[in-house]
Structure formats: C-alpha cells, structure tokens
Structure 1
Amino acid sequence: MKNLLRPETRRALPWEKVKQIWKDLHERPDLRKGLRPEIYDSWERSYHYNVQRGMRETTNLIPEREFAFAKENSKYLMETAVPVMERLSEFVRGTGFVVLLSDANCVSLKTIGDEASLEWSRRANVVERTVWREEKVGTNAGHLCMLLVKPISIYSYEHFCLFAILGAASFAPIVDKGRVIGSIGMVAPYERVSHHTLGMVVAAADHIQSILALNRVSKYHQVITDSMSDGVMVVDLDGTITYMNEKCSKILRVGSTDVIGANIHSIFGTKPENQFFVNTVTQGRTLIDDLLVLYHGKNQIRCHITCTPLHGTNPTDMGTVVIFRESERMNSIVGKWIGRSTKMTFDDIIGNNPKFQHCVNIAKTTCQSDSSILLLGESGTGKDVIAQAMHNESPRKNNPFLAINCAALPRELIASELFGYEEGAFTGAKKGGNVGKFELANQGTLFLDEIGDVPLDLQVALLRVLEEKSVIRMGGNKLVPVNVRIIAATNRNLEEEIARNRFRRDLYYRLGVIRLIIPPLRERADDIPLLVHHFLGLICKRFGKPLKKVSLQAMEALMNYEWPGNIRELQNVLESAIQLAPDDEIDYEFFKQNLGFETPLPVTAESNTSEDSSSEELRILRETLLRNRYNKSATAKELGVSRQCIYRRLQKYNLL
C-alpha cells in the first residue's frame, strides 16, 4: 500500500484501483497511518465533523445573492488574480487542467480553462459558488493550503469524499499583509497529475502577491503625491510627461489624464517666455526654488520651480522631476514664518491705571473687527505690543502678522516694500520680482509703524490699496487681491501734520476708523511698581541672575521720574541695573550715580524733619502700598481699613 501512495506510481493507477484504495483507507485506520501527516490530520478532523464520505456530488453551493456579495468583497483580489489565471490557463491549454480562485472563506470565485477541461470540472463538481471548507466537504487542497498557510497537492484518494477522488489538485495560499485572503489552484483528472503543477501555482500565487504589494505602493504613492500641496511632474529624456499629480494639473490648469504621454513642448514650447523652463527640464539641468512666470494659453502662472534630474544606468528611467509651488502659497508660508515672532497677548500687557485700562479694553473689544485701527502715543508706550495682542486675539491669529517701520525705510524703498515689484521694474530689481508686505500679510494683519513718516505721494497709493483691497506691484499691471487688516501707529500729531499739508486727511480717516490714544508712562505712574516687578522677573531670568529688588526710595524715585522714553526706557534702565548693581537690592543712589538720569530725591521719613503723626502715616502708607504692588484692596486689608479710607489718604498726600 505504501508503494501505491508514492507520487511516481499514481498516474498509472486505473479508476477501480484508485477507488479501492480510497475505500481501504476509510475501512482500515492502520492504512491511514501511511498518509502524509497533514492529510491524516485532515481526515481525522473530517470524521470529527461527521462529513458524509460517500457524497457523489457536492450540494454545498451558496445562493446567487451571497455569491455576488462574496465577489464584491473580493473585487480587488479578482481584478489582480484573474489576468494571472488567464495566462496560466493559456499556458496549460489542452492538458485538462482548470485554474481556480477561492476567497478567504473557501468560496470558489472563478474557474478558468479550455472547453474540454471546463466540461470535466462541471462533471467533477469543481464549479463556482462551491464552498470548499473542510467541515463541509472534507479533505481538499483549497482549504488545507489556507489552513496550513503553505502550498499543497492532494491526489485522488487522498480526498475524504467520494466525489472528489476523480481529480488531483494543487493549491497555494494568497497572503497579503500577513493575512490569507484566498488561494489559487489547478485541478485536473487524477491521471493527468504532474509534479510541475505545484510549482506553477506557487509561482502564480507569488505573482499575485507581488502585484498586490506593488499596487499598494503605487496607491500610497498616488495618495501621498495627490495630498501634497506642491505640484509634481516627471518628464523623461524625450520630453514626454510620464507623471503628474492632481495639484500640478490645477497649478498648470490642465487635465492630468490629457497631458500624461504628451510632450512638454506641446504644452509650453509655443511661448518664447517658457523657453528657459522647457530647456531646463529637457536638458536635465538643476533648478532650486526659482520664481518663474509660465504661460499656458491665456493663463499666466507664477510659481517657484525646482528641477531635479533623474540619473541611472537604465536610460528609460532617466529624466527630470519638476516641483511646482504656487507663488501665493509660498507668500503665505513666508508671511506665517515671519509672523511667528508675534507672541505678545493681552496677558502680557501690565497695568491697572484706569486711563490705560480703558485703552486696553477698547483694544480687546475691537479685536473681532476688520476695521483699520490707529494707535496714537509717544515712542516707547507699547503700541507694537498692543498691535500684536490685538492680532493674537483676532480671527486672523493663525495667519501672518507683519510689521514694517515706515520711518526706518528710505523713501525710495517704501513703495517696493509695501507693494512689491515685478522683474525689471527698475535697475537692480531681482529676477522674478519681489513680493510686497501686503501680499505676504494676506489673510492676516499688517502693522504700519510710524505711519506719519510715509511720504505724501505714497500716501495716495496706500489709500488706494485700502479702498480697493488689492495691490499692483511696481512695474506690473495685474491687480492682486489682498485681505489684510491694517493697524497703524505713530507718535506724531497727525491733525497737526494734516494742517501743515504733510498728511492726507482722507488717509487719516481711513486709517483711524478706530483710534486709541495710549497714555505715556508719566501719566500712569501708579503702574510703575507693577511694571518694575514684571520686568525684573523677565530680565533676571533671561540673564540667569538671581531675582533683584528695588528699594523703597528707589521705587519712589522711579515713580517721580518723567520717563521721556516711556516703558522702553524703563526696561533699558532696569536691564542695566540688573547687570551692574552689586547687591540684590537696587537702591536710589545706584540709579542716581550709575544710570545717567536724574531721579528726583524721594520724600521719605528720613528726609522729613517733622516728627508728627502725618509723616509717620505717610511712611506707613507708602511702605504698605509698595509691599502690595500698589494694589489698593490689598493695602486696605493689611492696614485694616476700607478702600475708601485708602483713597482719602492718597488724596490727602497727593499720591493719586
């Protein structure tokens, strides 16, 4: 019997002999020990499942509706596998073999073969819609290869059921991403068995798995490139466009399916202005983020272009990869990058002075508006901080904030900085032109500091931009729409400038839809202790020094100083003191001797010759106010009196 089970003896066996061996295997358990271990285990499971071994045909067909559902679920597998099956079937035409494809549930999805082999497969119950699960039809190659996750051949009498012993089958699992998704096999009358069959189905399964993997990579590649914000185009050595992603087709305003396979000359070659670009691509030259203007039909396309040659030993793989970046998007990226330093918020604005708080409250209220704002105040009062805080509190906070100091620019450069210029607009204009601050700040905020220093003739152009919400670059003729909120600032008295014909009244009204007058530091002296404490903490931390304090006399001196440079001057004075003062406490004498400004001598108990109770009361009041950073409520609580009492004492000693 063992001899009869050897592969080389099987082809010569007559049908009666095959059938007898199958019967003996069922009737004599000792003979079954001669089966291959995987076949033996499968027979034992089939007995356990109570599979009817004497079945002459299989009735295990799923309904047509379920079959349609199974094919739909395996649509991608079938699209990939069927072409491979057709080539394999053509290769074995005339040998009696049919090629089968099953899904992960062992449902036979597709049977392919020549007319004679298909006729035999119908007689042998090898048909579509059959469920070849072991618990239904016993031992078979289709289910066993997926169960073991390895190729296997099963010969005639090795099948558990009678109807199956007519044939011999070789199947291999199809594995995708570590999961068995189906199987491919070859089935023929048992007398046509060949030891080459298993190798052919293994090769077919490997081919299908390779196609699935390549398709996945191709799909990922397509999804990645189509999700890119840059356009991608690949051109071969002959100038033929071999690839273009969706973004590229939108930038160039062409259909990607229309141009793939077309020559780049047919799209760009007819315009002399495009010759530099076409030559760069077709001659395999490198280009890095150059700003070019391309012409396609009536369309003018302004974009930054990078060309990278493809090198390799195979000429068919050579060519150029072209990356297109829209000029408007690049402007937005640059604008956002420039605006990243805009970190100041209303939480960074220090002060409890009623007049100053009124100004801050108006600024907060108008953050949601798009109306232009004019900040008026002396130099150093914090106009730029309020502008940043308003931007960061507004709906435009995730878009650019650009600041330009109009007084710091030479007169001839203000227009080009604000509005930009085209290539060749003037001598020295850089290639590709330049983007102005209005375009860079699109969708964001433009802070025009020292607006009172803009020359009168440029004020007309600025007014036009504010009214039309679009700019024309110097040397250009194209209107570029811009959506920008303007915050302007000046330390000049613009009404006096208007009276002297140095500032346009219409521009003043356009900029000053909302006007904020920021009080100088001398008018909010009660905020100085708060500001001193805040700046000392920031500056000491920045220089890695222990926190310093300011003595009572020194604080009174700082509060009595006029501060012509306002908060900026206060910051600079404190920064110098932190680095130069030898002790942890900065005293009055140090400010007087080392920092170059005359601080009025503070009035203290030591300098007051009167010993009456008023002097003592004044001293206690000042010390308590200082300890509580001039918080009136905290001072009143420490002294055990009402806030009204504190205000009366402050009024008495002219401290309000």
Structure 2
Amino acid sequence: MKSENPFAAETLQTLLTSLEEAISVINTQGQILYWNEAAERTYNIKKEDIIDKNIREFFQHEDIMHLRVLENQQPVRDMYHIPRPDKHVLISTTPIYNHKNGLIGSLSIEKDITSTIKLNEKLSSQSNELQELKMYFNQNNYDDPFSKIKGRNQSMQLLIDDTRKIAQTDAAILISGESGVGKELFAQAIHEKSLRNDKPLIAINCGAIPDALFESELFGYEEGAYTGAIKGGKPGKMELANGGTLFLDEVGELPLEMQVKLLRSLQDQEIFRIGGVTPKKVSVRVIAATNRNLEKMVSEGTFRADLYYRLNVFSVHIPPLRERKDDIPYLIHDFLREFSYKYNKPNLTIHNEATNKLKHYQWQGNIRELRNIIERLVVLEDQNLITENDIYRVIPNLKKDSSPSIKIKEFSLTDEKDQLEKMRIIDTLQNSYGNKSMTAKKLGITRATLYKKLRKYGIIYNNVIFKDQD
C-alpha cells in the first residue's frame, strides 16, 4: 500500500487494522494481496502464511466469493455466506478495476456472525425441547393456563377473562405493554387455551435477528439457495408453526421490506422458501407483541398500516405494574416462595415494612424487575427475614427516611432517568442475547458508551459484572 503521503498511508493502514470486519484482496489469478488482522482472527490463518498464496489452497473453489465475483464481475452486498462448514459471515465483495477499466482483482469485506448463528440454532433446539416438555405437561395438567398469570387487581382479572375468551378463537392478537409486563406469558397462555394447543408455538424475536437473515429465518430456504446451504434445505419459523401458533415478539422491529412479505404470506396462507419455486401452504395463528406505539409508527410510515390491522384483530394491552400496585404483595409472595425453594432457604420471610417499601417503588422494569429484585434479596439474605435495610441495599434509590411524596419527587428529578436508562439497557441486552454490538446499535450509542454505562449501573449479564471504577 504505497502513497506519496506517508501519513495518509499509515492512517489507512491503521484504519484497516482496527476494523472488526475481515478484509481481503486478491488479483485475477487468485493470489492473495491483502489480509488484515480481523481476517486472521476470523479464519485463524496468519497473513504471513497466506499472502502471495493462491486462495484456492485454503478454501474450496465453490465457497470462494472472490472467484464468483471475478467470474461474473457483479458485486454482492451483505450476502449470507458459509465460506467454511464452521464459519458464517455477511459478505460484501466487489471487483477492482484499473484506470483503463480493466479487471485486476476483487476486494471482500466479511462480518463474522458465527456466534449469532450458533446461538440461534441453540435457541431453536432449546425451543423444540421446551415445546416437547410443554406438550407433555399439557397432557398431564388440566389447569387453566391463565392461572400462571399472577394478578388479583380488578383490571387484570377483567383482562385475563377477556383474553381467555379470545384465545379460543383463531383470530390474530396484538399484545402491547412495557418491557417486563409479561407479554410472552400471555402469548403462551393464549396458545395453550386455543384449539391449536396440540401443535407447536414457534416464537421469533424480531429485534434479535440481523436484517439479512430475516427472510431465511421466517420462510426457510431450499437446498442450493446459496453456497453452504444445508443439504435438503431448512424450514423457516412459519413452516415450523404450521397448524399451530406463530409468536412475533418485538414485531415493531420488523424491517419494512419484511413487513410486506409477512403480510402477503399471512393473507395467502402460503410461503416460498428462499430459492424455492413451489409455494408451501401453511396455517398459522399469529400472536404479535410489542412495547412500541405501533399506531404512531404507522402514522410516521415506519410500520405498514395494512399489516398493523392484520395483526390487531384483537388487542390485549397489559398495564404496567405501577398502575396495579395492589398486585405487588402477591407477586412478592410468589417470587419469594419460588426463590426460597431454589436456593434452599425455606424459612425466609419478608417484613411488612419491606413489602410496603417495594409497593411504593416505581418499577420501570415491571414484573421482570420485581422478580430480579426478589431473587437478589433471597441470594444476599443471611438471616430468615428480609428487612427495610435489605431493600435499601439492593435498591439504593429508595431513601430510608423519605416520605412517599418526597421520595417520588426526588426519584422523578434525577434517579428516575438513571433507573429508566438502566432498565432500557438491561432489557435491550437480554433481547440481544448479550451481544454488545447489537445492543449498542439498538440503543443508538457506541460500544464504548455502552460499556461505560454497564460499569456505571453495575449491570450483570451472563455472570459478567460491570462495576463503576470511579
């Protein structure tokens, strides 16, 4: 990489070295001219071992995107590609021309998504195992599935009663509510109460799948649809849900182009696998969930109105926990019993004043946050009684000698912003399966800023503790 300006050359070299994407350049004979450090990490091949060698010595001919682009002289953008059996990437490859417009080589940029793919496969496998367990449980348990939803509040009881009736129809349902209110629990109860409960409930998290993989995840692909495709093809989520229920979690994150294809498939009750020419008939009941304002998104043009009305035949809005505080003592009791059993502390109880403090907390993270707090209290408690002091230890925002009115004012000025930000980060991190890059992208911040906030709030994920170093 020669340049008349040494500083420009060094800057370019530093930039290419620091990128997370693997970058490689070959000439028309297949000789490798450039191989950056990310490419070394991705393929575990040192640049000194591959530079000036022919790329065919390291990869199967049919798996080399460089050669395909050199042959047809057509660039590819963000294509899902399997260059090796154990490697999954999103690849962009473009031909390189000289000043006379003569082809002299090609440049490839690859983003390693192997860990994401393997995680999705693991989740899919676990989902199938969980579904088998649920089917076994349903065969041996005749209780109302809605009994799993905790709530004695009158508005919640009315909501559960109405949802129980809706569940026995085949109509689409849109579940809305803040993060942590229990939308997935409602979806499971609806499916188990429906006429389709002997068929699978297949969930797809629309906020956790890269845009380039959406179509293959939803509709599947045929053998030979692209290089490295599984022999025999792979069914998508809609095909797996045939006869049962498709649960579209975080449906507000669905890309616009996929909204069109999803709507057509729901209307026609058929799908085309990627690379397929014959439609496959599918019969699914759709339950969608969102914590976003879809009506506002429709008016802004970021969510299709026709799909919104297709999904919103029946609407189930779950109120936040702070609007049904009379449920909090019962939820505390249930979670305390659950975690006391889990951590072998059968005699553990909670003081009434401690319960009262929790009842007046704002619970921006809703039931999920309450459940996490109770688990934390159970783990940290050395005695058999959870007191006010224990509450202050796990929720520093609750001040000891503050009256409820003063506490609310203090919380709304400074602490509430921090608490909201913390819960938003935790929720996004969980929905991204711990992927920091994906989390930062969804939050609209840099990875460096995300790590700073993880340390600031002492957020724990997958046993990794991020502590403030100040």
TM-score, length-normalised on structure 2?
Answer: 0.55
Alpha carbons 2:175, 2:287 under 8 Å: kept: yes
Call closer, same or farther: CA 1:572–1:334 in 2, change over 3 Å: closer
Q: In structure 2, what residue type is equivalent to 1:381? A: V
Question: Using the alignment, how far apart are the partners of 2:371 and 2:284 within structure 1?
Answer: 32
| Matching residue of 2:132 | 340
| Matching residue of 2:229 | 429
Displacement of 1:428? 3.5
Alpha carbons 1:335, 1:440 under 8 Å: kept: no
| Matching residue of 1:552 | 352
Report how many residues are paired.
272
Call closer, same or farther: CA 1:563–1:335 in 2, change over 3 Å: closer
Displacement of 1:516? 0.7
From 328, 352, 358, the equivalent of 2:152 is 352
Question: Using the alignment, how far apart are the partners of 2:126 and 2:367 within structure 1?
Answer: 31
Residue 402 (structure 1) aligned with residue 218 (structure 2): no
Residues 31-79 of structure 1: per-residue CA shift (max 9 Å, x gap): xxxxxxxxxxxxxxxxxxxxxxxxxxxxxxxxxxxxxxxxxxxxxxxxx
From 273, 276, 290, the equivalent of 1:476 is 276
Q: In structure 2, what residue type is equivalent to 1:340? A: E
Displacement of 1:398? 1.4
Say which is worse superposed, 474-483 or 334-343, in terms of deviation. Answer: 334-343
Q: In structure 1, what residue type is equivalent to 2:301? A: N
Residues 544-576 of structure 1: per-residue CA shift (max 9 Å, x gap): 222422211111111111101100000100001
| Matching residue of 2:34 | none
Residues 128-164 of structure 1: per-residue CA shift (max 9 Å, x gap): xxxxxxxxxxxxxxxxxxxxxxxxxxxxxxxxxxxxx
| Matching residue of 2:327 | 527
Displacement of 1:392? 0.9
Displacement of 1:499? 1.4
Displacement of 1:430? 2.0
Q: In structure 2, what residue type is equivalent to 1:426? A: Y
Question: Using the alignment, how far apart are the partners of 1:364 and 1:505 within structure 2?
Answer: 27
Residues 173-217 of structure 1: per-residue CA shift (max 9 Å, x gap): xxxxxxxxxxxxxxxxxxxxxxxxxxxxxxxxxxxxxxxxxxxxx
| Matching residue of 2:252 | 452
Aligned counterparts, 1:19-38, within 5 A: none
Displacement of 1:449? 0.4
Displacement of 1:599? 6.0
Aligned counterparts, 1:55-66, within 5 A: none
Question: Using the alignment, how far apart are the partners of 1:476 and 1:554 within structure 2?
Answer: 60
Question: Using the alignment, how far apart are the partners of 2:346 and 2:251 within structure 1?
Answer: 41
Question: Using the alignment, how far apart are the partners of 1:542 and 1:560 within structure 2?
Answer: 27
Aligned counterparts, 1:227-306, within 5 A: none
Displacement of 1:338? 5.1
Residue 543 (structure 1) aligned with residue 335 (structure 2): no
Q: In structure 1, what residue type is equivalent to 2:369? A: E
Q: In structure 1, what residue type is equivalent to 2:264? A: R
Aligned counterparts, 1:358-397, within 5 A: 358-397=158-197
Residue 583 (structure 1) aligned with residue 383 (structure 2): yes
Alpha carbons 1:334, 1:440 under 8 Å: kept: no
Question: Using the alignment, how far apart are the partners of 2:320 and 2:360 within structure 1?
Answer: 13
Question: Using the alignment, how far apart are the partners of 1:562 and 1:341 within structure 2?
Answer: 36
Alpha carbons 2:376, 2:394 under 8 Å: kept: no
Alpha carbons 2:246, 2:284 under 8 Å: kept: yes
Alpha carbons 1:406, 1:448 under 8 Å: kept: yes
Question: Using the alignment, how far apart are the partners of 1:345 and 1:596 within structure 2?
Answer: 37
Residues 349-378 of structure 1: per-residue CA shift (max 9 Å, x gap): 111111212211111011111100000000
Secondary structure of 1:366's partner? helix
Question: Using the alignment, how far apart are the partners of 2:159 and 2:184 within structure 1?
Answer: 14
Question: Using the alignment, how far apart are the partners of 1:498 and 1:482 within structure 2?
Answer: 27
Question: Using the alignment, how far apart are the partners of 2:187 and 2:401 within structure 1?
Answer: 36
Call closer, same or farther: CA 1:559–1:471 in 2, change over 3 Å: same
Residue 506 (structure 1) aligned with residue 303 (structure 2): no
Question: Using the alignment, how far apart are the partners of 1:602 and 1:527 within structure 2?
Answer: 23
Question: Using the alignment, how far apart are the partners of 2:383 and 2:130 within structure 1?
Answer: 40
Call closer, same or farther: CA 1:478–1:600 in 2, change over 3 Å: farther
Displacement of 1:399? 1.1
Secondary structure of 1:577's partner? helix
Question: Using the alignment, how far apart are the partners of 1:508 and 1:573 within structure 2?
Answer: 35
Displacement of 1:446? 1.1
Consecutive aligned runs of 4 or more in structure 1 exceeding 4 Å deviation: 333-338, 341-344, 599-604
Q: Which runs of 5+ in 2 are unaligned?
A: 1-124, 138-143, 405-470
Alpha carbons 1:560, 1:599 under 8 Å: kept: no
Question: Using the alignment, how far apart are the partners of 2:152 and 2:333 within structure 1?
Answer: 14
| Matching residue of 1:646 | none
Displacement of 1:542? 2.1
Question: Using the alignment, how far apart are the partners of 1:431 and 1:354 within structure 2?
Answer: 54
Structure index of larger Rg: 1
Aligned counterparts, 1:162-181, within 5 A: none
| Matching residue of 1:189 | none
| Matching residue of 1:637 | none
Call closer, same or farther: CA 1:601–1:339 in 2, change over 3 Å: farther
Q: In structure 1, what residue type is equivalent to 2:146? A: F
Secondary structure of 1:389's partner? helix
Residues 457-486 of structure 1: per-residue CA shift (max 9 Å, x gap): 100000011111111111111111111111
Say which is worse superposed, 518-527 or 589-598, in terms of deviation. Answer: 589-598
